[in-house]
Amino acid sequence: MVESFIEQYPAIQVALRDPRIKKAMDRDSKCEDFVDTMKVLYTSTIAVSSDKSATAGQILPILDKLKTKFEVKDDDSAFKRAIKEKVWADLSHPYSVCT
C-alpha cells in the first residue's frame, strides 16, 4: 500500500494543486489531510533508504521529527487524528527501547 502511494505521490501532488480538483476537494479534505500527514513519513523513508546501513545518528533525529509530526493537536480533524494515532502507534512500538 505504501509503495503504491509512493508511486502515485507525484500525481497526487499535481492533483492537489489543480484549482478545479481542489475546489471539489474543499468539501472533503481527507485526501489533503492524508497527504499532509504522510509526507514526512515518505521523506523520512527516502532519507533512510538512501544509505546502505543507517546509523542511530540518522535514525534518532528522524524519529524525534516523526514523533513531533504525529502528535495529535486540538485542531486536527477526526480523520487526521486517527491517522496520526495509528501511524505513531505502529512507529513507536518497535522503537520503544530507544525512546
pLDDT above 70: residue 14? yes
pLDDT per residue as tens digits for the range 66-77: 889 999 999 988
- Residues with Cβ within 8 Å of residue 75, at least 6 apart in sequence: none
Distance CA 2, CA 79 (A): 18
Instruction: Determine the Cα–Cα distance for residues 71 and 83; give it in Å rounded to an integer.
Output: 11
The total of other beta-carbon atoms located within 10 Å of residue 54's CB is 13
- Note whether 22 and 29 are within 8 A (CB): no
Q: 18-34: per-residue pLDDT in tens?
A: 777 666 655 567 877 88
